[in-house]
Homo-oligomer: A and B are copies of this chain.
Amino acid sequence: MTAVIKEQTQPDQKQDVTGILQRSLMFSDMGADILQPLVEAATLQIVPKGKILFVHEEKAEFFYVIVSGWVKLFRETLNGEEAVIDVRNSGHVFGEMAIFGHDFYDYGAEVVEPAVLVTIPLAILRRLVEANTQISMQIFRLMSQAHRLQIGELEHRSVQNAPQRIGCFLLRLCKPGDEGPITLHLPYDKTLIASRLGMKAETFSRALARLRRETGIRTNGGSVEIDAVSQLSQYSCAACSSSYPCQDLPR
């Protein structure tokens, strides 16, 4: 339906891409010289909402760095259900787990808010990882953090009920140190938040209503007002292994 605007990385864009990579979680603070092979092979894309970048079990050729926008990672079952694995934004990377072991994507990826992405062939990254200890150590850190987040996700799904999971989601939108009255904005639409949290849209709507009743937060469309973060964290984190602020679960 909508064409992806692929832009070859022109000389004047290479600086941009280098900077983008250096601001990403995977390549933060790495020298331009180290990143050069990646930058050479990188493509900058503007991708509209709804675009499916790849599907589960497709042969993996590229990994992606998100410059802006939101990307949903998901799996589809044979009977048509969808399980959302994660929804990622600026600075995050996806599709990279296929570097080792089998060469297939572990999930599908769909742009859910208009995005700017850097696309880089996995082969280049693979070569770099084998040659450069600094990069491989950084990826280790990232993978072990991803693992930790996954464990947290599993825990949340099994011990928190719907309103608590929503509360937890809101808490992760807070900046560290936030306490008093603040206003948040939901990063993407409620339907997606619902499936991101493993519940149906209707359940989300009702659970949010209950969360309002029980913690005193107020909502108006996509904006959320929280008077006391502590009250919300008390409500949600009671059913969790770590109390707020939940260092295990950034974003």
Using a CB–CB cutoff of 8 Å, the interface residues on chain A facing chain B are: 56-57, 75-79, 81, 83, 85, 97-101, 106-107, 129-130, 133, 136-137, 139-141, 143-148, 150-151, 153-155, 157-159, 198, 237-243
> Which residues of B lie under 8 Å from residue A106 when comparing CB positions?
147-148, 151
Given contacts A100-B140, A145-B101, contact A78 B151 (CB under 8 A): no
10 A-B residue pairs with CB within 8 Å: A56-B241, A78-B243, A83-B155, A97-B144, A99-B140, A100-B144, A101-B145, A101-B148, A143-B144, A154-B157
> Which residues of B lie under 8 Å from residue A99 when comparing CB positions?
140, 144
Shortest distance from the beta carbon of A208 to any chain B beta carbon, whole Å: 19
> Which residues of B lie under 8 Å from residue A137 when comparing CB positions?
100, 130
| Nearest B-chain residue to A242, judged by Cβ | B57
Contact (Cβ within 8 A) A157 B157? yes
Contact (Cβ within 8 A) B100 A241? no
6 closest A-B pairs by beta carbon, nearest first, are: A150-B150, A75-B241, A83-B155, A100-B141, A100-B140, A81-B159
Contact partner of A237 among B78, B129, B148, B238, CB < 8 A?
B78
Query: Once bound together, how far apart are the Cα atoms of A241 and B154, in whole Å?
Result: 18
Contact (Cβ within 8 A) A144 B101? yes
Contact (Cβ within 8 A) A83 B154? yes
Contact (Cβ within 8 A) A154 B239? no
> Which residues of B lie under 8 Å from residue A56 when comparing CB positions?
241
Contact (Cβ within 8 A) B238 A78? yes
Shortest distance from the beta carbon of A108 to any chain B beta carbon, whole Å: 9
> Which residues of B lie under 8 Å from residue A154 when comparing CB positions?
83, 85, 150, 153-154, 157
Query: Once bound together, how far apart are the Cα atoms of A243 and B239, in whole Å?
Result: 34
| Nearest B-chain residue to A195, judged by Cβ | B158
Contact (Cβ within 8 A) B144 A75? no
In this complex, the member of A98, A129, A154 whose beta carbon has the largest number of chain B beta carbons within 10 angstroms is A154
> Which residues of B lie under 8 Å from residue A238 when comparing CB positions?
77-79
Query: Once bound together, how far apart are the Cα atoms of A158 and B133, in whole Å?
Result: 38
Contact (Cβ within 8 A) B100 A239? no
| Nearest B-chain residue to A147, judged by Cβ | B97
Shortest distance from the beta carbon of A140 to any chain B beta carbon, whole Å: 5
